[in-house]
Amino acid sequence: MTNPITPSDKEKNKGFWRSLITWALLALLLRWFVVEPRWIPSGSMLPTLQLQDRILIEKIRPRVTRSRHSHLRRNDVVVFSPPEQLIALGYDPNAALIKRLVGLPGDVLTVQQGRLLRNGESADEPWLLEAMNYAMPPTTVPKDQVWVMGDNRNASLDSHLWGPLPEKNVIGTAIWLYWPINRFGPIRIPEEAGNG
C-alpha cells in the first residue's frame, strides 16, 4: 500500500520549488549585475594574464562611477565592449575585450623611447616585460572616455591604434584569477603604481 501525499507534503514541495527558483534568480542577478566569470582569449595582457586564464570581474564600480560622473582608476584591468572603431573592422559587438586603463579624461599621453608618458611624467608600469617598439604622439583623453592598453604592448590591439574608449563601454574590473588553481588569487595592482 502506498502512502497518499498529504497537504503538508504538497506545501513542502511548493516551498522547495520556491526556494530553488529564488536562489536561481539571485544567482542570475549576481552574475548579471555584480560578479561575472570571464576567460582570457588572447596574449595581449601577458604576463599579468595568460591565455585561457579564468577571472572574475566586478561590475558595480563602473556603473556607480558613471552615475556619479566620476572615473575608474588608472591601472585597473578592465573588461569592455568593443568601441565603434573595432566594430567597423568586423569585431563582434557582443564580444568582451580586456586591457589596462592607463589614461583618464584630461590626461595627456604619449609614447617616447619605449615608455608611456602621462602628463609629462613616465608612467610607473612594473608589469611590463619589454619597452614599446612604437611611438605615439601626444594625445589628450577626451571627456567621458578612457585610454586602455594591453600589458603586452607590442602585441596588443589597443587605444594606441584605435583611440579612446567610451567609459560607457566598460563592463567591469578584473578582480580575481580563479583558474589555473596554482595562480588563484586577487589580480593585484602594485601599490607603487599611481591611481587617479
Tell me the catalytic residues.
44, 99
Instruction: Tell me the residue type at 43.
Output: G
- C-alpha cell recorded at residue 39: 576567460
